A and B are shown apart, each in its own frame.
Chain A
């Protein structure tokens, strides 16, 4: 089955928030952000701006009728700044005008006087100052201190990882339409309709039921619209509330980049101890997360960093520490992988450094420490149906790792300035929200008398193929043709209290809720059929390809007949299904439990060529064996793997967030922030799905696929590093990502810096 929206997408007919017909008198909003990263607001002068053509009103914090608060986990973030600003781009005021150009013009006339205070951009500096959000966490497993004594080699080091801008092609946007009796409807580009609903309600001082949020689709989210979409909906709603008119807010790219949070940069220290044979005996790691100016989802992101700090390896003694450090950057947030990639990068760096000291290949250490069945993760869960070794072996065999190694060595012998490198990258990623209560979902299914079916869930279509998956799941659960199923927008009046579409779990949770709703309707239909047809046992009835069978024999009834009969017999053809992931738990006091429904495994092989004269690189190939469980839809799943991989490759290399010391974001446009383009991706890309994996708890045994493949991209860092090492065996190669062409060239020519220093003297 193809992506259900694809045909309309290719025709440009799919509607995003601002594409649907505009209500008459629609007003537009421009947002004024703080020009400074930290300061006291002395005055905001809006008189000149109010005089501008087309301006209807200007809204400030004082206008908010409810509570000026948007923090999702910790209430520490204002919608509009009150007395102090904490990052560049923090919304201070909004201008509402007849068109966007007028709003923009007036915005530039607002005068904000701010007394600048010192800004912190470095997480370690913030930690030293005690600027910590929430409580630092430590996972302890085994006895690290004791284990050092048994180690033949102990290596310490430091990693510094850059963040990542989401670059959803559709920037943040929302349209707010006032309804009767003080209610409000929002069309929002959000992964979290319920977060928008409850936060708008809080801002306007209304009960949740007064706010309806409708989400048809997103032009990309990737985590950037999980929590960060809420503010823009709130501002649109606030403007609509104040003017009584429909209001649209669309952030221009530049402002979107400056004002919204990103993947967290991390700075980490590691200490790893191994036996002479390369068995990892102990691992001690400290993560300093650059959380930005407010909590946002940072504490949850940090938690996942801790969960994934040992990646796909079993390590008998570990101590994993992490702290969310408050800085004067935009509040950092969810992004595909949700802290997992940072944890894994440090693990892989530690292995790389140890391998260099032991003078063995990096992959030897990786392979010798892969998780086996029943091995225990540092958080207490046992590895069940562990696929680390299996995907590794399949990758090694199907993609001929020994041949690749030979080829790379040969190439490097025969070439001077061009060097090849390779890396093996195993991954292990836990599926479930680590916030226990979020692992629930509802679905509302209607069957109409013509046999067509409408499915509403709490899931949001953001390109990942959610609607396609639900269509397929519902059709399969009923036993009917897919064309009968329509998946509706995510709407808070049809499904209440929905969890965000995140954690790779949207299809798992909402798909299972859909199955539960469908099962309930099917059960009613079967009860009716046994009595109408005078049959004995309901259990022997089944619907296949729209025909009703009894004990394998066609009853002569088809789907339409069944539905129409049910209607005439006053059988309820609607049902609400609910699903809560069973068997998961986590004790935050002990930091132990069983937080994940299951794990996804896989192994990638990456090969690069580095032009050591120029510092540039090309990815020659990426080959992956990925564990999908029983795939729901290979076309969709392949797209998820390829897309996540591209983002992972970009995170490690091109995508560089550059902030100056005063917290100004310099790589603030697509001209200066570079995401992978068509030429960046390898021509030679192979993805094999592990065929033999038994099912997981996802619908029909499918495994979640959104986030895990992102982390294959981490291998690119180590492949480039491998090539750099071949060119300059003595170079000091720090574990700083992204590994831009600048870093490659400067690191390969350390003498250059020394010469330059001498010249300056």
Chain B
């Protein structure tokens, strides 16, 4: 980025010329000595470094909790970065007080991140304001001391204190929420001035300096895990500064997803919820809220991890990818995009500009399965997406993907072909499994033995069909047939 990065850090203006790839966490602790934000793992897994990032949009400023250890500083231009120091008033906020009252802080190291997450939870008009909502909000925060029970009690206490009169409604706009939270003393008063101050920061045009090597970063939630220390010094090109790539729209029975759409925005979007009715459930298992607020659909695809959760789902949805290089544009089917481990059909100068999938037919059934060691906030051992079009018990068409069982996110073409025009019956599904077993090539690694992954492929195949056709077939039948 040419010129400095300008943003609001709590109640003050910051103009800095540190490299845009610098981690926000390092900038806070090292350069600003704002040490309330803690480093626990530097890979988005513990949440000790959670901060809020506020971004201008039509209704005011929208705040999201994110892990600052995976957040490039350049991303913050024109935004409001809130750390624990920026929430402190003279008296404790209701969130802070509740954690004190319920014994929700022991060693205290994870506590600032937890305060940030719970405050972000209150700031988000769309989160459900109950114990379940509190849990969701803390999905990205590890605490090794408390066992979480006291933190859930803290969440309940906060909601009782400020939510007792149904203060939260879904109609609340972000502006009204901020206002209400200032009145409830959750936020300091300066939050009122933020929208106007952000509007004063001129947009920066990000130009790529072709002389030096660069790295394209979307959400960075995996790139920064892999090479966080190196990226700080590279000329990082931050894609998400390009707001044009974040929209989701319907056009000619096809869903278009801007590749920079975050997991969270994807899962909340009405178009997506119509096409994939259980998307919110799947999303819950795919990443913590704090990471979903940064991870992008396009990043998940281009990162080419064999266990990309969204990629597995999009494979089953028959997605296409649109790439652009200069004025040249080209479309590639996701099924044929991956060519080997972390290898894919994309030229260096091409940028993914659109992810497209056909709106599923009314009769089609969709399911996504993921098994990991810990069910939430974990990487899949095996994941799988499926789309089935059936006439009663007769399968017209199947689109099946499996992640974690090959060097690439795998589309199981032969298995799909076999299942076409078969009836939903255990024997065919078990035969399909035999074919699937020939298509996959899992290796033994830290996420599981190859034998386990092979068994999971079978089990998830059964899970797909028994879940999607409960009136036709039950799990029991597979064990009796065996």
Among residues of B, the one whose C-beta sits closest to the C-beta of A417 is: B475
Interface readout for B95-108 with A: 1 if CB under 8 Å, 0 if not? 11101111111111
B105 touches A9 (CB 8 A): yes
The residues of B that contact A22 with a CB separation of less than 8 Å are 33
B108 touches A6 (CB 8 A): yes
Smallest Cβ distance from B128 to chain A, in angstroms?
Answer: 15
Q: Does A645 touch B at the CB level, under 8 Å?
A: yes
One of A232-240, A271-279, A390-398, A676-684 contacting the partner: A676-684
- Chain B residues with Cβ under 8 A from A19's Cβ? 35
Q: At the interface, yes or no: A352 with Cβ under 8 Å from chain B?
A: no
User: B144 contacts A6, CB within 8 Å?
Assistant: no
A417–B139 CA distance with the chains assembled, in angstroms: 27
The listed residue (A613, A670, A680) touching B46 by CB distance below 8 A is A670
* A420 interface residue (CB < 8 Å to B): no
Q: Is A455 part of the contact surface with B, judged by Cβ < 8 Å?
A: no
Contact B149 A685, beta carbon cutoff 8 Å: yes
- The complex places the Cα of A616 from the Cα of B372 at a distance, in Å, of 8
Q: Is the CB of B99 within 8 A of A169?
A: no
| B147 contacts across to A, CB distance below 8 A | 642-647, 676, 681
User: Is B449's beta carbon under 8 Å from chain A?
Assistant: yes
Q: Does B71 sit within 8 A of A, measured CB to CB?
A: no
Q: Which residues of A contact B112 (CB under 8 A)?
A: 9-12
Mask of A201-240 contacts with B, CB within 8 angstroms, 1/0:
0000000000000000111111000000000000000000
Question: B225 touches which one: A7, A671, A741 (CB < 8 A)?
Answer: A671
Q: How far is the CB of A466 from chain B (nearest CB, A)?
A: 11
- B346-382 contact mask (Cβ, 8 Å, vs A): 1 or 0: 0000000000000000000000010111111111010
Interface of chain B residues 97 through 136 with chain A (CB within 8 A): 97, 99-112, 115, 131, 135
Best-buried of B101, B145, B232 by chain A (most CB within 10 Å): B145
Find residues 135-155 in chain B having any chain A CB closer than 8 Å to their own CB.
Answer: 135, 138-139, 141-152
Is there contact, CB below 8 Å, between A169 and B40? yes
Asked whether, in the complex, the Cβ of B150 is within 8 Å of the Cβ of A639, the reply is yes
Q: Is the CB of B40 within 8 A of A614?
A: no
> Which residues of chain A from 596 to 639 have any CB-CB distance to chain B below 8 Å in the complex?
613-616, 635-636, 638-639
Q: How far is it, in angstroms, between the C-alpha of A681 and the C-alpha of B459 when the chains are bound?
A: 25
Q: Verify if B45 is at the interface (C-beta below 8 Å from A).
A: yes
- Interface segment among B84-92, B208-216, B295-303, B391-399: the answer is B84-92
Selected contact of A14 from candidates B104, B108, B138, CB within 8 Å: B108
Interface majority SS (helix, strand, loop, mixed), chain A: loop
Question: Nearest-CB distance from B471 to chain A (Å)?
Answer: 16
A667 at the interface (CB under 8 A from B): yes
Residues of chain B with a CB closer than 8 A to A416's CB:
474-476, 479
Query: Which A residues touch B33, using CB under 8 A?
Result: 21-22
Structural contact, B144 and A3, CB atoms closer than 8 A = no
Give every chain B residue within 8 A of A740 (Cβ-Cβ): 373
Would you call A101 an interface residue if the criterion is a C-beta within 8 Å of the partner chain's C-beta atoms? yes
B103 A10 Cβ-Cβ under 8 A: no
Q: Bound complex: CA of A675 vs CA of B108, how far in Å?
A: 18
Give the Cβ gap from A614 to chain B, nearest Cβ, in Å: 5
- Checking A171, A643, A677 against B146 with a beta-carbon cut-off of 8 angstroms, the contacting residue is A643
A751 to nearest B CB, angstroms?
7
Enumerate chain B residues within 8 angstroms of A168, measured Cβ to Cβ. 107, 109, 144
- B436 lies within 8 A of chain A by Cβ: no
Given contacts A12-B37, A670-B41, contact A6 B99 (CB under 8 A): yes
Q: Which residues of B contact A378 (CB under 8 A)?
A: none
- When A3-B106, A169-B110, A670-B46 are in contact, do A101 and B229 touch as well, CB less than 8 Å? yes
- Residues from chain A with Cβ under 8 Å of B85 in the complex: 12
The residues of A that contact B38 with a CB separation of less than 8 Å are 12, 16, 169-170, 219
Tell me which residues from 96 to 150 in chain A have a Cβ below 8 Å from any Cβ of chain B.
Answer: 99, 101, 104
Residue of A643, A672, A681 with most partner-chain B CB within 10 A: A643
A10 touches which of B92, B109, B138 (Cβ 8 Å): B92
Chain B residue with minimal CB distance to A2?
B100
Tell me the nearest residue of chain B to A5, going by C-beta.
Answer: B108
Within the complex, the shortest CB–CB distance from A326 to chain B, in Å, comes to 26
B451 at the binding interface (Cβ < 8 Å): yes
In the complex, what distance in Å separates the CA atom of A252 from the CA atom of B446?
Answer: 21
Query: Is A104 in contact with B229, judged by CB distance below 8 angstroms?
Result: yes
Q: In the docked arrangement, what's the CA distance between A680 and B95, Å?
A: 23
Question: Does residue B452 face the partner (Cβ distance < 8 Å to A)?
Answer: yes
Residues A616 and B448 in contact, CB atoms below 8 Å apart:
no
A746 and B106 in contact, given A643-B145, A678-B148 (Cβ under 8 angstroms): no
Residue B463 lies at the interface, judged by CB distance under 8 Å to chain A = yes
- Contacts of B36 on A, CB cut-off 8 Å? 11-13
A674 within 8 A of B: yes
Chain B: minimal CB distance from A67 (Å)? 33
Query: Is B246 interfacial (CB-CB < 8 Å)?
Result: no
Contact A667 B106, CB 8 Å, known A12-B36, A740-B373: no
Give chain B residues whose Cβ lies under 8 Å from the Cβ of A658: 446
Q: Is the CB of A749 within 8 A of B455?
A: yes
Give A647's nearest chain B residue, CB to CB: B144
Chain B residue at smallest Cβ distance from A759: B437
Name the residue in B40, B104, B232, B374 with the highest tally of chain A Cβ atoms < 10 Å from its Cβ: B374
Asked if B46 and A2 sit within 8 Å, CB to CB, the answer is no
Quick one: given A613-B459, A670-B43, are A169 and B107 in contact (CB under 8 Å)? yes
Contact between A6 and B105, CB atoms less than 8 A apart: yes
Q: Mark A147-170, 1 if CB is under 8 A from B, else 0.
A: 000000000000000000011111
A616 touches B146 (CB 8 A): no
Residues from 456 to 513 in A contacting B, C-beta threshold 8 Å: 462-465
B157 near A: Cβ within 8 Å? no
Q: Which of B1-59 contact A (CB under 8 A)?
A: 30, 33, 35-38, 40-43, 45-46, 48
B135 touches A680 (CB 8 A): no
Task: For the complex formed, measure the closest distance between the CB of A338 and the CB atoms of chain B, giving whole angstroms.
Answer: 17
Could you tell me if B232 and A101 are in contact, using CB atoms closer than 8 angstroms?
Answer: yes
Q: Which of A635, A642, A656 has the most CB of B within 10 A?
A: A642
B447 within 8 A of A: yes
A65 in the interface, Cβ–Cβ < 8 Å?
no
User: How does the 8 Å CB contact mask read for A641-676 relative to B, with 1 for contact and 0 for none?
Assistant: 011111100000010101000000011011110111
Q: Which A residues are CB-close (under 8 A) to B374?
A: 654, 674, 676-677, 680
CB-contact partner of B115 in A10, A221, A253, A463, under 8 A: A10
A633: nearest residue on chain B (CB-CB)? B103
- Asked if B335 is an interface residue, CB under 8 A from chain A, the answer is no
CA of A672 to CA of B127 in the docked complex: distance in angstroms?
29
**Chain A: which residue is nearest B45 at the CB level?**
A670
Complexed CA–CA distance, A157 and B145 (Å): 34
Write out the residue numbers on chain B whose beta carbons fall within 8 Å of the beta carbon of A219: 38, 107-109
B462 contacts partner chain A, Cβ-Cβ < 8 Å:
yes
Q: Does any Cβ of A come within 8 Å of B292's Cβ?
A: no
Residues of B within 8 A of A759 (CB): 437
User: Does the CB pair B476–A222 fall under 8 Å?
Assistant: no
Q: Decide if B454 is an interface residue (CB 8 Å cutoff).
A: yes
- The answer to whether A656 touches B451, judged by C-beta atoms less than 8 angstroms apart, is no
CB atoms of A7 and B92 under 8 A apart: yes
In the assembled complex, A745 has its CB within 8 A of some CB on chain B: yes
Complex A-B: 24 CB contacts under 8 Å: A3-B103, A5-B108, A9-B111, A10-B92, A11-B88, A12-B112, A13-B36, A13-B88, A15-B35, A18-B35, A168-B107, A169-B144, A614-B460, A666-B446, A669-B41, A670-B40, A671-B45, A740-B373, A741-B372, A742-B373, A746-B449, A752-B455, A753-B451, A759-B437
| A-B residue pairs, 5 tightest by C-beta | A12-B36, A463-B107, A9-B108, A219-B109, A646-B147
Q: A: which residues have CB within 8 A of B?
A: 2-3, 5-16, 18-19, 21-22, 99, 101, 104, 166-171, 217-222, 252-253, 416-417, 462-465, 613-616, 635-636, 638-639, 642-647, 654, 656, 658, 666-667, 669-672, 674-681, 683, 685, 740-742, 745-746, 749, 751-753, 756, 759
- Apart from A6-B100, A746-B451, 18 more pairs, CB < 8 Å: A10-B112, A11-B36, A12-B36, A169-B110, A416-B475, A417-B476, A614-B460, A614-B463, A635-B103, A639-B146, A670-B142, A674-B378, A677-B376, A679-B377, A681-B149, A741-B371, A745-B452, A752-B454
